[in-house]
Structure 1
């Protein structure tokens, strides 16, 4: 039985948000001087924008991989059912907004503030090492057959490991040849979802 589109949306969202959580956690130490969640409220370091651009590129590849896993996109053309399901859900909204620099800074500000609050409660001697990384895991696909479910989990974890290595190599190669990754898929997906919502509102569908 095919996985329902609304479940696919949640699984894609879960994977993308998991990537975002890891990225912000791993890079928050570079934003210790961030004084506000508003990008226009103070001077922005060049380093911050460089990290944002790296997030933008890695985010794009993460989205491409997640959508390809479910066959939801072909050459930037999204499955109609996928777009309709995404339009009815807000699961991807926060993640897709992060390709805008002000939203990236706002999210990083929350991450920095949360870290400061944890440090204040736990004390410096109990704070986890900044080098620690939670192991990456792809969300489990719901299946009634436990054998199929377990095999899918094994395949997904191996694919995720391969994708992480491929992404790192691709980002470096694209940078060396002067063709950095742009958030085309994420931007296209945002446009398609917003267009579908507009059609629903004005009764064009």
Structure 2
């Protein structure tokens, strides 16, 4: 699998374009906005979008989902059903964070622990990691030892839990009991900021070491 990070929205969210080298089929992970920037990256890489993947439904990760899905007839995979209330409140999120108006949407497929999402010939395992939001999921590609972790874990930090239905202890449990067991060598792309490896965070992250 190949990956390209596309920072979007005033929050500089790491929207990620992922694609299969053999088939050139691609997915956009967390299209929070700035669709022109995302689509330019798709054209530059010469890939064909086949789906949208969502780690969770906060506006900076999901704000462009409805428009992208509708305009390009793309199925939406994720997040977990626990984030339904965030999707239903998309217009309120736009107002709260001063985002352009955006539509709500219904995922084509809600995701659960151990589900699999394919992108061309590549496969991502779904890991349900509640805490930042109740329906947050992580996408893990075992072949490349790579994970797209959204706002669960950052280099040197962890996700916020002060939003509605956030839960600090659940987040810590998700990181220690679900992410870290994937292995120290796993490289991850977080929802914001630079990437890291799980091994580095196990030993140096003050919130979870």
TM-score w.r.t. length of structure 1: 0.23
User: Which one has the bigger helix percentage?
Assistant: 1
Higher strand share: 2
Tell me which structure has the larger Cα radius of gyration.
1
**RCO comparison, higher one (Cα < 8 Å, 6+):** 1
